[in-house]
Structure 1
Amino acid sequence: MKKKFKAIAFLLLLSFCFTHAQNSEKHERPNILLILSDQHSGKIMTQVGYKYVKTPGIDKLAEEGVTFTRSYCTYPVCMSSRASLITGVMPSKSGPNLLKYNSIGKTLKDVGYQTAYFGKWHVSTSKIKDNPEWHGFETYKREYNDTESTKLSIDFISQQHDKPFFLVTSLLNPHDCCELARNISGLGDTYHDGAVEEKMPIEECPPLPFNFKIPENEAEGFYTRRTPDSTDKVNFGKHPVKYWEETEWRQYLYGYDRLVEKMDNHILSIVNALEEKDLLDNTIIFYTSDHGDGHASHEWNQKMTFYEESINVPFVISWKGHTKAGVINSNLITSSGLDLYPTICSMAGIPLSETLEGENLSPYILMDSSQPKTDRSYVVSELNQKEGNKPKGREFVGRMVVTQNYKYFIFDGGKNPEQFFDLKNDPGELKSIIHSEKYKKEITVHREMLKEWIKKTNDDFPEHIIPQ
């Protein structure tokens, strides 16, 4: 009987040790914090030399991590871009078939993470309250006030956690630049997280950007949306800039920059909360935005173009003591919407889903990584643009390919549907060289890249319209 009792006790001890080892292994996984902003252009960062903002929050992350300055969103509007960020799949697939793909929240929850989401949702046409089983966030609140989202996030961080957490803090700003533009034009609107100065004296405002001019022969897929007048009740509130002179544009720049600083102040508060809880060395922090903003380049406010200001976004990955510190990577072309998901999984030790279309960036980030680096040479973005944004107007469907030195894009119709820019020699994208004999070889290469992408990803973009 004693022998039998000892055997049972021994088995129970083994079981306890095994379970404890499993739990310890789970607990060794790092916490993950994803901070999303809305409409923050990658061009408006101190890390790329922009000198009219002060961003101690982002700077603090960048000092301990890697900043990818050549990162692109998959689609320059929030709902489509966020569908990619959550699923790791291009918007043309994830937008209309969102629930078909795994959510990053559900993936981390299923391996033992405590999951939470606070702030703006806008993931395709879904509502966060309707799909908790799919998205996997155990605690969530849709919120448009960044002060409140930050408070909820800090309260969550301050709790006692018996397992690693995955927290998404989705900040609205600097998206209130849309409200800013309407207020400058006298339409009146209310800010979500406090007002900014709208009538700053011009001498206190940033200068107009060097690429303020609209390029000749602009693609109709862009200019069909341009400068509605005040009689257009549908569209004037989105682009109320037709009557702006230099003063209004520069006041817009000033206000936009202050909205970036408002948003950054919340980032700093969250990072400081992690530091106070002694969690920085066990928390991977990702910062990116769903898309950028025209910021007066090409006389453009808002998003919905393939120009750099709208399509290039911040992408910072920081893990104190583990990531390469203070690295500004301006060489690697990344897709924040596609690369975020596999990079999170890899750094958390989670097997990658075959549906993911992005790349694992951890070899470029971690100090001691021995994983092979990606051989990617280009990324692709998408855009559907309604004619004049009219409900019954035609829709232009476009694809963009960007490489180290060049950008190519094509729409499925309209005037000047094909465009090609030399980003090295024309960083402001002021002159398309699609008809240049000098660049004929490079143009052909980029056309072939898009065809390759269409085949590889089963993209439904009409390949036959791409010239041979």
Structure 2
Amino acid sequence: MKDKRNQITRRKFIELGAVGVAGLALGTGLPGCAKPSHPKVNLIPLSERPIVDPSKKPNIIFLLSDQHRPDAMRCNGNPVIQTPNLDRMAAGGVNFTNSYCASPICQPSRASILTGLYPHQTGITDNNQKDFDPQWETMPRNLQRAGYKTAIIGKTHFFSLNAKAFSFLIMDWGIDTREKDEFIQSFGYDDVIEEFDQYLHAYDRFGINIYSPYTDYLREKGNFDKYQKQIKSVWRYTPTHWDGQTSVLSQEEDETSFITRQATNWLKQQDKNRPFFLNVGYVAPHSPYISDPIWADFYKDAEIPHGPQTPPEKVNELWGRYLDTRFKKSNSYRLTADYIRNSARQYYGQVSLIDQGIGDIVRTLEEQGLADNTWIIYSADHGEMMGDYKLMEKQVFYKQSVRVPTIIRPPKAVSPKTVDDMVEGIDLPATILDIAGAEPLPKSSGQSLVPILNGAGSKKEFAFSELGQRVADKDGVRDKEKRWNFVSAANQRYRLTYETTTKTACEFFDLQEDPDELTNRINDPAVKKLCNDMINDLILPHMNA
């Protein structure tokens, strides 16, 4: 088979070793500085002109991060975190504060964003069940049909990550993620630069090494070995998994900076006479919580706000067994206030570097004369618990895990607004296709958010989120064949979680009386009828759709 380890040097839109993020942004910080400064980004001034210029198809940039909780942004009320470019996006567009992911775990949520379908419709309800289906109708494929040049740079997670899935990729020298490029292209992307998280990069079992554009870059810089050593020190679900650390790499060498650099290089190559859709998939701020030295120094003494520390109640046997798996993986016994604060500081650093990269992308648009015809959308696949309720990461339905940031900034703007209407992950592809004037996805129930930008209200009363997890016995051992299938329905007043296989109701919260979701009332006789009505009138029809 053709050796693709050096293929990256032959792709004209990748320039390894080019000017780093710090070189593109004005004053991103020098070693020893107490506080990084931020690039000044001149957003398009507000006007009363129509949002979409009908005479010219707009460009669209879709920025999707991994595991970003919505309160980790200054524009959402966080007094500590530095996110000036996301804040400017919100000030020149619409900030949706009740945006729910289709699933609080990576792969199902991404499948829903790609197709506009819920997890029970795609069949992807958990990570690493199977690869995505190339026969799906997808948002980027419809964009191609509408004349768009399409690209995805960064994390895709379109394929499962297990030994069986990778078996056909193993060469005598290791595994190359670029062997999946043609598979990813089949979903509607002309250009692909696939990257994944640090755990995959550091994988070396049985003498098998991982190769990707980013690991090639680090090897060329002579820094891969120390990077791999650091990632192994915080390996998944070990006692040190959630430790916050400062990266052994420079800010320029960070994976977020690398992805930003590839995105700006791609933008510089585009034909101004052809509309483009660029999907930038940031791997951060997913664990491990390792931030670059500049941002780590900035947040080293920061007082990080945190949420409730009371563990969830085991209201019935099934929910108790599931929570035990989450407590075990979260290493809950280690989650002291100081420990969480240290990890959160590094998490904030990861978010701020993404924000810095967004500033670089906007600046590149301006330098290339593309800003006045480019929409920018920012969101995430799911949130992050970060120690709240003694839980880490995601895979629960608390707002920290299931809500995501969603900001839409049109090129010619609407009056800035914050919208608390219910929004779902499946609405993002509908919105992007609407902006492009492309055909909607025929089987999707997602709704375009463009009318809301024009002043209309949302027609959506509830948002749904789903999660499939392997059944655990009383000792927490999980069955590889059997799965629980959870679905949660939420509006601005109530949230209910139901397991469809055993027909077990697991959670009910009155968000008006209990906004922090501290009292699970699923066994309260006073709300039994309401719970049954929500199950019969909302959840069961939803799952049968």
Determine if the alignment matches structure 1 residue 328 to structure 2 residue 438: no
Superposition pairs of residues 358-437 of structure 1, within 5 angstroms: 358-366=446-454, 374-386=458-470, 387=472, 388=476, 390=478, 392=480, 394-412=482-500, 417-437=505-525
Superposition pairs of residues 116-265 of structure 1, within 5 angstroms: 116-125=151-160, 128-144=180-196, 145-161=255-271, 162-175=273-286, 178-180=287-289, 191=290, 197=296, 204-209=302-307, 211-217=308-314, 219-220=319-320, 222-228=322-328, 239-265=330-356
Q: Retained in 1: the 8 A contact 2:295–2:353?
A: no
Q: Retained in 2: the 8 A contact 1:29–1:348?
A: yes
Determine if the alignment matches structure 1 residue 450 to structure 2 residue 539: yes
Misfit runs of 4+, over 6 Å: 192-196, 198-201, 413-416
1:105 aligns to what?
140
**The one of 375, 400, 416 aligned to 1:284:** 375
Q: 1:200 to 1:268 in 2, by over 3 A?
A: closer
**The one of 24, 38, 51 aligned to 2:79:** 51
1:303 aligns to what?
394
2:98 aligns to what?
70
Q: Distance in 1 between matches of 2:88 and 2:299?
A: 29
Q: Cα offset for 1:118? A: 0.6
**The one of 84, 87, 103 aligned to 2:115:** 87
2:70 aligns to what?
42
Q: Distance in 2 between matches of 1:221 and 1:111?
A: 48
Q: Retained in 2: the 8 A contact 1:33–1:166?
A: yes
Secondary structure at the aligned position of 2:404 is classed as coil
Give, as a single letter, the amino acid of the residue that structure 2 aligns with 1:226.
R
Q: Cα offset for 1:329? A: 0.5
Q: Cα offset for 1:340? A: 0.8
Q: Distance in 2 between matches of 1:194 and 1:82?
A: 30
Give, as a single letter, the amino acid of the residue that structure 2 aligns with 1:167.
L
Q: Retained in 2: the 8 A contact 1:83–1:124?
A: no
Q: Distance in 2 between matches of 1:283 and 1:389?
A: 49
Q: Cα offset for 1:124? A: 4.9
Structure 1-normalised TM-score?
0.79
- What are the superposed Cα offsets for residues 211-267 of structure 1, whole Å, 9 maximum, x if unpaired? 111132353364131333xxxxxx5xxx34423322112212222122111211111
Q: Distance in 2 between matches of 1:199 and 1:266?
A: 17
- Give RMSD over aligned pairs: 2.7
Q: Retained in 1: the 8 A contact 2:292–2:349?
A: no
Q: Cα offset for 1:325? A: 3.1
| Comparing 256-265 and 381-390, the one that deviates more | 381-390
Q: Retained in 2: the 8 A contact 1:84–1:90?
A: yes
Q: Retained in 2: the 8 A contact 1:64–1:325?
A: yes
- What are the superposed Cα offsets for residues 13-62 of structure 1, whole Å, 9 maximum, x if unpaired? xxxxxxxxxxxx99710001000100001232223212221101211211
Q: Retained in 2: the 8 A contact 1:39–1:173?
A: yes
For this pair of structures, how many residues does the alignment match? 402
Secondary structure at the aligned position of 1:255 is classed as helix
Q: Retained in 2: the 8 A contact 1:71–1:312?
A: yes
1:353 aligns to what?
441
Q: Retained in 2: the 8 A contact 1:109–1:136?
A: yes
Q: Cα offset for 1:196? A: 6.4
Q: Distance in 1 between matches of 2:145 and 2:407?
A: 26
Q: Distance in 1 between matches of 2:480 and 2:295?
A: 36
* Gaps in structure 2 of 5+ consecutive residues: 1-52, 125-129, 162-176, 197-254
Give, as a single letter, the amino acid of the residue that structure 1 aligns with 2:303.
C
Point out the structure with max Rg over C-alpha. Answer: 1
- What are the superposed Cα offsets for residues 155-195 of structure 1, whole Å, 9 maximum, x if unpaired? 122224130000011111111xx223xxxxxxxxxx58669
1:339 aligns to what?
427
Q: Cα offset for 1:207? A: 4.4
Secondary structure at the aligned position of 1:287 is classed as strand
Q: 1:247 to 1:401 in 2, by over 3 A?
A: same
Give me the identity figure in percent.
Answer: 27
Q: Retained in 2: the 8 A contact 1:146–1:193?
A: no
Secondary structure at the aligned position of 2:137 is classed as coil
Q: Distance in 2 between matches of 1:364 and 1:248?
A: 41
Q: Distance in 1 between matches of 2:136 and 2:498?
A: 28
Q: Retained in 1: the 8 A contact 2:90–2:409?
A: yes
2:224 aligns to what?
none
Q: Distance in 2 between matches of 1:389 and 1:44?
A: 34
Give, as a single letter, the amino acid of the residue that structure 1 aligns with 2:116.
G
Q: Retained in 1: the 8 A contact 2:384–2:400?
A: yes
Determine if the alignment matches structure 1 residue 33 to structure 2 residue 71: no
Secondary structure at the aligned position of 1:227 is classed as helix
1:462 aligns to what?
none
Q: Distance in 2 between matches of 1:221 and 1:31?
A: 48
Secondary structure at the aligned position of 1:266 is classed as helix
Q: Retained in 2: the 8 A contact 1:71–1:333?
A: yes
Q: 1:49 to 1:77 in 2, by over 3 A?
A: same
Q: Distance in 1 between matches of 2:505 and 2:527?
A: 17
